[in-house]
Every structure is written in C-alpha cells, then in structure tokens.
Amino acid sequence: MGPGINKRFAENKTEYGNAMAKVTVYGTGTNTELEQSSPIVTRRGAQKAKIQTRGMVRKVESRKPSAALLEAKKKAREKLNNSPKRSSGETITIRDIYQSMMDSIQTIRGATGIMYDDRMAEHRCLWDPNFPECPERYTRVVERCRELKLIDRCVQLSPREATVDEILTKHTQELYDLLKSTSQNEDEEQMEELCTKYDAIFIHPTTFQLSVLAVGSTIELIDNIVSNKVQNGMAIIRPPGHHALKSEYNGYCFFNNVAIAAQHALDNRGLNRILLVDWDIHHGQASQRMFYNDPRVLYFSIHRYDHGTFWPNLRESDFDWVGEGDGKGYNINVPLNKTGMTNADYLAIFQQILMPVAIEFQPELVIVSAGYDGTYGCPEVCLI
C-alpha cells in the first residue's frame, strides 16, 4: 500500500470506523434494532452481514410458539366453534362501561339520607365497663355529625325493626330465638355465662331489640336509595353485623346487617350487581361467607391481617380466597401485613384496585361496612 493510499485511509478512518450496519429483526410484535460496528465497511463485510441477518430472521420466523400459547388458541377455537351461530342480521349490544361516567355529568345531585336512633346507645357490657364495643362508638359519631352540621344537610329517615323473615334470609331460626329469649333479661350472671360460649360477645337486656332495629334500619336505608328518594345515605347503627355468622354470634355482632340488606335488594328490588366494600380493621368473615358463591355480590375487604395473627385469625382472610363456584373471582381480600398504614396506603388501594374492579363490575348498588375501628383514635388502630 503506497503512501498516498495510507494518507487517504487515515483521513477516512474515523468515518469508516463509526459506520453502523442497522438490522431490523421482526419478532412477536416488537422490532429490535441490532447494531454491529465494523472498523471498515467493505463489500465482503456487507455481504457477510447480510447473510447473517437473513439467517437471524429465518431463525426468529421458525421459532415455535410456546405450548401454553398453542393450548390457549386451541381452547379459543373450541369455544368459538361451540358457541351458537349468529344470523347475519342479528344485532349485538356492546355495553360501554364508561358511559355511566359520561351520563353522570348531567346528573343533578340528589339528597343524602341519614338514619340513627339514640336507643342504640343503651347496648353495653354490664360486667366490663371497659369493653371496646361501647356506646361511645355510636354517640361520638352522632355528636360529630351535629358539630359539623352535617345532619342538617341530610334527609332524616325513620328507622324501623326488621321482620323475622328478613332476618331468616341469612340466619337460622335457632339463632334468632336464642337472642330473643334474652330480651329484658337482667340476670347479669346468666348473660355472662351465655356469652362465654361465643367469641367477643356481650348481651344486654336491650340487645335483641336493638339488633332487630339495626337490621331494619339498614334495609330501610337501602329501600330509600333504590327507590330514588335519596341518592345515598348513612345508617349510624349498633350493634354491628359483619362478623355475625349464619348460626353463631361473633365479634360484637348478632345479625349481619349489610348481608341481610344486600339479600333484600337482590330478592325484592330486582338488583343483580351489588358491591359490598368493608374497610373495618377486622376482616368481615361472615359477610364473605354469605356471598362466597354468589356472583351478584362482589365482596371487597381491606383489613389488618399480620399474616394471620390478627383477629379473627382466619386463613380465609388472605388474598387467595377469591370465591368458589359461580362466585369465583367475586371475593377480593386486601390483607395488610405491615403496620403503620396511612391515608396514602388506603387511597392507593382504592385507586389502584377497588376503582378498576368497580368500573368493570358496574354495580347497581354500593354498600359500605364503615367500621369505626378503621380510623385513627380507636385503641385497636393505635396499635398499628
């Protein structure tokens, strides 16, 4: 190589050295650019790169799909072949799940109903004045609503007692009769002995009447909402209900208020999709069980779990209990295994999990078990 050639090569070495041969490989939906650098681009080098590129493309194109993908395609074809044939002129209606949000732009806000009865403050534990489920759980809520003048802005609804038939939709006759037999019974020793047969229960002489009143008030609120007399509402009631099992009192609860009201809406109000949200600090295992195989009620619970060491200490409170039978996929638990959760954590759960689920489910009615002990100030929460 002569001096002139060496000089020209040195001048153009940088340009040639930075030259890049770009190759586009077509795979499963993505394009990947492979960059191969060469110090000098020669005809032979370009030809070799071209041969390699063709080989890579053939290799990608000849790659077999995974067995899982083939199986999914096979099932899809079988489902399509087995589905009833539609005539060419048949109209198919596709529901737009976002249309309700667009319609709400023109909606005029309706009234908010509120229901409470001061007799519910009578329910208390006679043999333990420091029992956590105390009258202040009712009186303080009402007092705070009055302080903020919220009650004045709401439509006051009249509470009522539930009928026997309404309660028996979710509980046994024996359970109902036993609690009824305690009505106005002031034998404190006898009542305490009875309560030792159950987990976290006390019975007051007024417990039966107030439990029936709590159920009836919840149903009455639901009826007012479904009949459009109010747009939404709140029932401030005691005793609570979401731990009350079909045939057992449990966790301060005697009759499952929200479960009975939801069943009433299904049976008597023609509803087919109810979202039941439970943010009590304890898992509402009874509400979960009562609709575990029913796809018409989607149960969504946020609760403290601590890997099963927090009450009610049940395996079924974990995230992998999702329903069974027709109700599979309609039970969602968000167990909190870390202490120190804040508003931001709850908002993240609402926005990232609850709202997407609700948008897809499109409930006709939303019922919230707004447990008092899921707020700051409650001794059980202060331990978090």
Active site residue 243: yes
d(C-alpha 292, C-alpha 362), whole Å: 19
d(C-alpha 156, C-alpha 117), whole Å: 11
- Residue pair 179/249 in contact (Cβ under 8 Å)? The answer is yes
How far apart, in Å, are the Cα atoms of 42 and each of 16, 33, 49, 190, 383?
10, 21, 11, 102, 74
Look at residues 203, 239, 249, 246 and name the one whose alpha carbon lies nearest to residue 218.
239
d(C-alpha 298, C-alpha 368), whole Å: 12
Look at residues 329, 345, 348 and name the one whose alpha carbon lies nearest to residue 337.
345
Strand order in the sheet with 155-156: 155-156, 112-116, 232-236
Encoding tokens for residue 123?
């329910």
- Residue pair 208/216 in contact (Cβ under 8 Å)? The answer is no
Look at residues 233, 232, 252 and name the one whose alpha carbon lies nearest to residue 242.
252
Which single residue is written with the structure tokens 């609709």? 291
Q: Which of 243, 264, 282, 283 is catalytic?
A: 243
Alpha helices, H only, 182-318: 188-195, 207-226, 257-268, 285-290
Longest dimension (CA), the chain: 120
Q: Which residues are catalytic?
A: 243
